Amino acid sequence: MLGQVDLLGALNIAFLPFLFVFFASEFFSTMGTTLAVGGEAGLLDEEGNMPQINRPFMVDSIAAALGPWVGIPAATALIESSAAAEAGGKTGLTALSAAVMFLLMLLFTPVALMIPKEATAPALILIGLNMFSGLRKVDLGNFTDGLPVLMMVMITLIANSFGTGIAGGLLFYIVIKAIAGKWREIPIGLWVLAVPLVYYFADLSQALSPSQCEFHLFI
């Protein structure tokens, strides 16, 4: 498999739009997951920032890069980790414990496959409701704050992609604030981020064009 890896070929300028789509999706997905799980674990400061956030980004980027080399999908942080944080987990030992439990559960895979989706659906619905608990912190009375959050949720559900939802929500936040005449409330960092966000969605639409490639949108 390693003999088929062509790193120089992947750096062809024709592949840059696709590489950017993958990067942006991974970046926003990791950022949203890290902040959400960090909030559940009480690791955020008074301003909602996570100290040393570069560490989870480093781990996630290494895992995503090395995963394909060993024949597995790109490894990444998942929002389901908030369940462990809510249970009190705050260190890497939590992840190791979960990994051991998953390893043990491999023995029961045939039994798990016998359980119909109709039986697991209620549990997934409850997990989804728990994930919505963060909305209580949003000032829904201010439409310039509430609408971008609603758009973020809608895009996430439609696109089946956490990263795409966050990217769309941020771009909509910039647009709605500017239209409402509250452009001064937009941080400079978001203005800078607006350019790659527009480029991201432009590349995403190009990458999903049937004439360009045949892979499904939301991987």
Give the Cα separation of 166 and 207 in Å (integer).
Answer: 19
pLDDT for 213 equals 44
For residue 217, pLDDT beyond 50? no
Domain tally for the chain? 1
**Per-residue pLDDT averaged across 68-83, rounded?**
71
In a domain, 2, yes or no: no
In a domain, 113, yes or no: no
In a domain, 92, yes or no: no
pLDDT tier, 212 (very low <50, low <70, confident <90, very high otherwise): very low
pLDDT for 219 equals 40
Tens of pLDDT along 155-169? 888 887 777 888 888
Cα–Cα nearest to 76, from 163, 7, 160 = 163
**Per-residue pLDDT averaged across 49-58, rounded?**
85
In a domain, 203, yes or no: yes
For residue 102, pLDDT beyond 60? yes
- Owning domain of residue 209: 138-219
Q: For residues 201 and 167, is the Cβ–Cβ distance under 8 A?
A: yes
In a domain, 107, yes or no: no
In a domain, 41, yes or no: no
Tens of pLDDT along 153-205? 888 888 877 778 888 888 899 999 889 888 888 888 888 888 888 877 877 76
In a domain, 186, yes or no: yes
In a domain, 190, yes or no: yes
pLDDT for 74 equals 65
Give DSSP secondary structure letters for the chain.
-GGG--HHHHT-GGGHHHHHHHHHHHHHHHHHHHHHHHHHHT---TTSPPTTTHHHHHHHHHHHHHGGGGTSPPP---GGGHHHHHTT--SHHHHHHHHHHHHHHGGGHHHHHTS-HHHHHHHHHHHHHHHGGGGGGS-TTSHHHHHHHHHHHHHHHHHT-HHHHHHHHHHHHHHHHHHTT-GGGS-HHHHHHHHHHHHHHHHHHHHT-TTT----S--
Task: Give pTM, 2 decimals.
Answer: 0.62
pLDDT tier, 144 (very low <50, low <70, confident <90, very high otherwise): confident
